[in-house]
Amino acid sequence: MTVPCPACHRPMLAETYAGHYGREVALDICHHCNAIWFDKLENLGLTAGGVLALIQSMQARYQQDRQPLPQTMPCPRCTGQLKPSKRRTNTIQYTVSACQKGHGHFITYFELLREKDCVRPLSGAKLRKLREQVSSVNCSNCGAPVDIQKTAACTHCGAPLALLDPDAMAQTLERLSAEHDRKSNPNGDTVAVDMALDRLRTKRTFTQLDQIDHSHQHGQGGWGLVGLALDALMRALR
């Protein structure tokens, strides 16, 4: 049974990922909004391989041009208003939109990457350089335009301007791949080599991210920094 996206109200896609104890977890995903609905505790039911597959799927379908998320969103289960909620894992804080009756939570891909410690706030030097070249970008979290000449955070959802952290992203993918491989393939020599090569390609791609992609018209919005990085990552790992 499909459920409507809390943000755009289109039917979300039901995608199945590996869960613990041989079970499968069916997630509701809106690739138009780059967001996921987790029913209660579904996020805890995913195996490392399931999380890895989810990240890869979200990367492959990442939409840079989308409508900003609305300020108010209904729960797809009870239609009650979702409430922004701060959550923490170890030292990482991230934000979800949670059902007040406990049915689950709605999380953007950007916040999922924050949860996995894969993004970093834009530093002062990089922010100054960006301001010299463009006047606005789209928020990687909600899609709203951000006037970077006036602010370093989205005025719509409060998310800071951020870039993917290449080392953290590579480490997360390697950790998830290694954990999945240990459980499914006792001989992980080939997989370990593949992961090392992927890491090198990923790092080589991200060395270019200190420079703004001049193929984008200066002074125009319409693109997000995380989206730009994801596009580069996908090209590198093909």
166-188 pLDDT tens trace: 677 777 777 777 776 666 665 54
Partners of 86 in the beta sheet?
95
Residue 52's alpha-carbon distances to 72, 118, 184, in angstroms, are 30, 13, 14
Highest mean pLDDT among 21-25, 26-30, 175-179, 234-238: 26-30
Give the pLDDT score at 195: 53
pLDDT (average), residues 145-152: 90
30: pLDDT confidence band, cut at 50, 70 and 90? very high
The set of residues, in sequence order, having a beta carbon less than 8 Å from that of 30 and lying 6+ positions away, is: 5, 7, 8, 10, 12, 13, 36, 37
- Tell me if 177 sits within 8 A of 52, measured CB to CB: yes
Backbone φ, ψ for residue 210 (5° rounding) = -75, -10
Q: pLDDT tens-digit profile of 113-137?
A: 888 888 878 878 888 888 888 888 8
pLDDT at 220: 40
Q: What angle do CA 63, 65, 71 make, to 5 degrees?
A: 95
DSSP structure string for 71-102: S--B-TTT-PBEEEEEEEETTEEEEEEEETTS
Residues 138, 157 contacting (CB under 8 angstroms): no
pLDDT beyond 60 at 198: no
Give 141: exposed, middle or buried? Use CB within 10 Å, 0-12, 13-18, 19+.
buried
